[in-house]
């Protein structure tokens, strides 16, 4: 089974908030006013979403260990360093988005990224 995994940060844009709700110095790519969320989607469409404290490797791997069958799954992610520990125990395909690699054969993260876009 192929499992796409990705993390995102969810919350409204700071510029759209009422003045008393704005978070100082949080425009652009700042995540200090966002909630980190980790998600996985199996090739059949089953989605697993988790609000997390951070997107560190320890946090992400603990969720993956609970849900993913190591012997029957291939995990596909981007190059986020939090996924680096997976290579020791899982079949892990890493797509390097920074080098414009978004698909490698049958492997991509388009489904989970599309899910975030619709959330």
Confidence (pLDDT) at 41: 95
Can you give the CATH number for the domain in which 12 is found? 3.30.420
Confidence (pLDDT) at 29: 47
Q: Is the pTM for the entire model greater than 0.85?
A: no
| Residue 85 reports pLDDT greater than 60 | yes
- Kindly report the number of other CB atoms within 10 A of residue 45's CB atom: 8
**Burial state string for 53-77 with b = 16 or more CB within 10 A and e = fewer than 16:** eebeeebbbebbeeebeeeebbbbb
- Kindly report the number of other CB atoms within 10 A of residue 91's CB atom: 14
In the chain, alpha helices (H): 57-67, 110-117
Domain tally for the chain? Answer: 1
What confidence tens digit (pLDDT) does each residue in 30-83 have?
Answer: 455 678 899 999 988 899 999 998 889 999 999 999 999 999 999 999 999 999
Expressed as residue numbers, the domain containing 50 is: 2-117
| Residue 119 reports pLDDT greater than 70 | no
């Amino acid at each position: 089974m192929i499992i796409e995994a990705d993390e995102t940060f969810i919350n409204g844009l700071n510029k759209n908030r009422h003045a008393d709700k704005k978070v100082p110095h949080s425009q652009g790519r700042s995540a200090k006013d966002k909630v980190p969320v980790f998600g996985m989607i199996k090739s059949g469409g089953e989605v697993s979403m988790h609000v997390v404290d951070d997107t560190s490797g320890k946090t992400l791997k603990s969720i993956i260990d609970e849900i993913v069958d190591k012997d029957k799954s291939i995990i596909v992610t981007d190059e986020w360093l939090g996924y680096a520990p997976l290579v020791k125990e899982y079949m892990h395909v890493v797509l390097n988005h920074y080098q414009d690699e978004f698909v490698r054969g049958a492997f991509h993260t388009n489904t989970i990224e599309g899910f975030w876009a619709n959330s």
